[in-house]
Structure 1
Amino acid sequence: MLPRQKNRMIHTNGYHVQPLGNAKDCGTKQVGHTWLQKLWKKNATSSSYGQIKHGGTPHTWLWRGSYKLYTRRERVPSEMSEKFKVKMLSPAEIAFLTQYCTVMKPVTKTLNILQSETNTHMGWLLPVIFQLEAKLGRLEVSCKLCLPLIRAIQVGVQKRFGGMMGDPELIAAAIFLTKFKTTWTEKANIIEAGLAYVKHHIEHMTEDEMEHVGHSSDEDDFFSSLKSKKSKGTSELDGFLACVSDKIDLLNSFPLIKKLSLKLNTGLPASAACERLFSCAGLLFTANRARMNSTNFENQLLLKLNSKFIE
């Protein structure tokens, strides 16, 4: 089952392309990009391959390929440019690429976090997006050359995630993560919406539990919901928020919070993990192995994805 947002975050990086095409500095970006591509292509095809220690030729067809390409420009010595007869970058081009890397660094970190397969839950979505917006806002002053890029990313983030930023269910999922709780945003209305969602569902969970418990009299049964709301629901939420521990094991001390957290945080914030699974499955189920039965295919896929635990 795919995450709630359905739209894959892997395409978020594409929102900066069109607005940046109208910027006066896009020519500088293109020159720097062409220069680095030429240099790495010559280095890869020359007899002295490997003299530029960059850890592999970058793939610009990947969403993070251009960013990695530009960050590696500092590892290129001037003598390598002279050897391959490629003109060095001008100071203006270097300044632009430096600011480009500064702007794209929080974007790449955001995508890496949300597309991870481990230690990532649905509750990470809003805190990460809010942090990205805050970082981009601070960069507007220091990165004037890439201001169109910053504006385009901000518009793209709002277009894709703007409708989710006030979703009480996603806010509650973030509050249930001990790493964040209520500290990930300064907007009081956002936190209040999430807390209201939590209190409402905890009250219903408490009432459902009380319906299965016997009572001594009709009077006690009639007013039991008032006792449960006060003693169990609100106190458990207050106790969870008051704890300073950021370990996930803290949820074991609050059964109602844990139950609701499992419901909201089981899903992943992006479908990249599912796509990686489908990609591995495609490598196994080739045309030459079309008669493989489902059990054999499932076992081979399981072994392939868990090979690091077997070795």
Structure 2
Amino acid sequence: MDADQHESSGETKSAMHTWRFRHHFTYKADQGKNIIVQCNLCLPRVNLLSTSKTSTSNLKKHLDRTHLGCEACPDVKRGRKKEERNGEESRHCQLKKLKAEIISKYTTQAKVDDLIYDFIVEDCLSFYVLEQPGFMKLIAGLTEGLKSMDRVTLFTKVDQSFSRMREELMSRLSSAQYVCTTADIWTANNRSFFGMTCHWIDSFSLERKSVALGFARLQGKITYDTIAGRIHDIHVAFNIESKVQITVTDNGSPFTSVFKEFAVDSHDSDDDIGFFENVSAVLQGEPEKGLLLFLPTVQRCASHTLEQIVAEDFWQAVSQGPMCQLHYSTMAKVFSIFSKCHHLQVGMDAAEEIGKMALVVPSVIRWNVEYCAVQKIVSLTERELTELCARLEVPRMQPEEMAFLKEYVTVFHPLAFALELFQAEQKCYLGLVIPTVLSLKNKLNEQKDTTTYFGDVINAIAMGIDVRFLELFASTEAKIATATTPQFRLWWMAASEREEMCSLLATEASLMDPCTETEASPSRDPSTIKSEDDFFSYGSAKPYAQIQQRGVMEEIRKYIEGTGKSLECLQDFPRVKQLFLKYNTTLPSTAPVQRLFSQKGNLVTSQRNFLTDDYFERIQLLRYNSNLLSLNIE
């Protein structure tokens, strides 16, 4: 019954009986001091509302929030007139008009253009999307008449954003004292691209900053002189050729040839910068004008080195050991599970239903992804794994095979953890590599006596670590980087070597000129007397170099004896901080440039074929640097 029927039934009256909008509700039941009503405007959806018998504020709020404009229809039975409306507009038309007014008030054509620009750049879409009829209708419908910008406007916005990005990058890099770059080459869809990222540590907050500098298409045969030219051109374009401490690359043959051919041996020269002639000018028949292309020192990717240990040393030990057959039979079943869960919907559903997890086929070049996938298999109970194998029609795992997998997960957990550390970016420094590799080797050796299947494999991996990281262990730069990292200091070194390392740190620190350092007053020339204080002297003073050296050694001693592990403690040691900035700017791996290539849609999407190489590079750099730079066009 409605409100009037409820009133005529003789039941207790409520505030709703005299309310002008009571005809929008139907009485349902009493509930203590409240009544339950049904909103007629919400029909056919059942929407029961509770309101006090003495107040209708709850129902009025419902009308205002859900049914905007209903107050234009008061109760005719109470003698109230309807509001006059031009042209007898319906409530739907009123709402539509109000919506258009709100949109027109807060949405401008410039804002719509900025949103469309962000949409194109974020997903690396073709500029022809703007001219698609469906997209134009979508924009017009959402904005109540505003238009989508054309391709010419988008080209202009991209050019303006790219120019602003370069200017801001140049400004930020000019204030950086030391920088590190990473370089890599990626081939997809029969096209090759050269990518480069740049990294530095903020001298005040000690936070790592990362930007992308290049994403260029490589045409023709990829040779070492082509790569060297790309590296040099990007360094010169951003005016950082004199600031680059190290360029980090993988261990692939193109980069190996580049730096083997052109880098100057540090034992033969005090300058670690290599150079070669402008090959492109020679090939084009242009006369060489003495232009030299400079290459910085190269640093091999630590994570790629560990991947090589797994891919080569690990597999060689497995294939020659007594567990060869067991390993291949077990992994064949595991990869069969991976494949069916990845390619078949029934496999995905079974893994989700039984194991409450999603399994993916591990990448060939990412062993730690394979390890995580095996770890998921081991986490299943015997009943769950048996059921999963039956559903996927995969041979059941035997007890010995399960024991093999469990030991595999246990033994190589430190190796997977080390790979994750090296592939980090914000909190990963060159000084992390030596302690990580030493700890990895120790943890593997600790498990050697308790293993059943992997004793020989551990020996092979430990030997591979010694061989492949031999150059790093002998690197003075890596030792200084580790010693100036508060988390490690000198605990990783033998006691007999620490004194020599302290002297090396003091020698390097004496060459630093930290801005926070209180400079001692050097001895002055007697001919430059400007005041009485300059005139009076009481014997020969100690040479300035001796005073400075003593201050440096005291600072180094205090730092070495400290116990703080956070980077904040470096603020108390300005010279050590400068050493940290110089040597730990270097990243241990090429993970950042690999992330540049692996951005969703950048190399695998078909729409990018409609973009020229120049604009494709611009879109990728704008996309990668969007988190660091403010690039919105006003």
State the TM-score, normalized to the length of structure 2: 0.44
Q: Pick the aligned partner of 1:154 from 462, 468, 485.
A: 462
Moved more, 122-131 or 292-301: 292-301
Contact kept, 8 Å, 2:481 with 2:580, in 1: the verdict is yes
Shift of 1:141: 0.7
Give the equivalent residue in structure 2 for 1:32. Answer: 330
Give the equivalent residue in structure 2 for 1:5. Answer: 299
Q: Percent identity?
A: 19
Deviation string 1:114-147 (CA, Å, 9 cap, x unpaired) is 1211211111010101101111110111113111
Distance 1:297 1:65 in 2: 26
> Are 1:292 and 2:292 an aligned pair?
no
Q: Tell me: CA distance 1:137–1:220, structure 2 relative to 1, closer, same or farther (3 Å).
A: farther
1:163-182 aligned at under 5 Å gives the runs 163-182=471-490
Contact kept, 8 Å, 2:301 with 2:588, in 1: the verdict is no
Give the equivalent residue in structure 2 for 1:225. Answer: 545
Q: Report which of the two has the higher share of strand.
A: 2
Shift of 1:19: 2.2
Q: Pick the aligned partner of 1:77 from 359, 364, 385.
A: 385
| Matched position secondary structure for 2:453 | coil
Shift of 1:274: 2.2
Give the equivalent residue in structure 1 for 2:155. Answer: none
Distance 1:277 1:55 in 2: 25
1:36-185 aligned at under 5 Å gives the runs 36-44=334-342, 45-47=344-346, 48-49=349-350, 50-51=352-353, 52-61=355-364, 62-74=366-378, 75=380, 76-183=384-491, 185=492
Contact kept, 8 Å, 1:125 with 1:269, in 2: the verdict is yes
| Matched position secondary structure for 2:320 | coil
**RCO higher in structure (CA 8 A, sep ≥6):** 1
For 2:549, give the aligned amino acid: K
Q: Pick the aligned partner of 1:239 from 558, 564, 567.
A: 558
Shift of 1:227: 1.7
Q: Tell me: CA distance 1:153–1:306, structure 2 relative to 1, closer, same or farther (3 Å).
A: farther
Structure 1 unaligned segments of length 5 or more: list them.
Answer: none
For 1:226, give the aligned amino acid: Q
> Are 1:203 and 2:497 an aligned pair?
no
| Matched position secondary structure for 1:5 | strand
Contact kept, 8 Å, 1:168 with 1:193, in 2: the verdict is no
Q: Tell me: CA distance 1:297–1:85, structure 2 relative to 1, closer, same or farther (3 Å).
A: closer
Contact kept, 8 Å, 1:33 with 1:70, in 2: the verdict is no
Deviation string 1:231-288 (CA, Å, 9 cap, x unpaired) is x111111111222222211111111111111001111011222222244498179432
Give the equivalent residue in structure 1 for 2:573. Answer: 254
Give the equivalent residue in structure 1 for 2:7. Answer: none
Distance 1:139 1:287 in 2: 52
CA RMSD of aligned residues (A): 3.0
| Matched position secondary structure for 2:447 | helix
Deviation string 1:45-97 (CA, Å, 9 cap, x unpaired) is 25444223233323252322331232122324322223334332222212222
For 1:194, give the aligned amino acid: M
The aligned length equals 303
Deviation string 1:15-56 (CA, Å, 9 cap, x unpaired) is 311222111112111111111222344445254442232333
Q: Report which of the two has the higher share of helix.
A: 1
Give the equivalent residue in structure 1 for 2:625. Answer: 302
Distance 1:192 1:21 in 2: 45
| Matched position secondary structure for 1:292 | helix
For 2:359, give the aligned amino acid: G
Distance 1:82 1:301 in 2: 45
Distance 1:80 1:281 in 2: 31
Distance 1:100 1:199 in 2: 45
| Matched position secondary structure for 1:86 | coil
Structure 2 unaligned segments of length 5 or more: list them.
Answer: 1-180, 182-246, 249-297, 527-538
Contact kept, 8 Å, 1:96 with 1:146, in 2: the verdict is no
Q: Tell me: CA distance 1:293–1:192, structure 2 relative to 1, closer, same or farther (3 Å).
A: same
Distance 2:497 2:596 in 1: 35
Moved more, 60-69 or 38-47: 38-47
Give the equivalent residue in structure 2 for 1:273. Answer: 592
| Matched position secondary structure for 2:469 | helix
Moved more, 111-120 or 67-76: 67-76
Asked which structure has the greater CA Rg, the reply is 2
Moved more, 34-43 or 276-285: 276-285
Contact kept, 8 Å, 1:281 with 1:301, in 2: the verdict is no
Distance 1:38 1:203 in 2: 60
Moved more, 294-303 or 235-244: 294-303
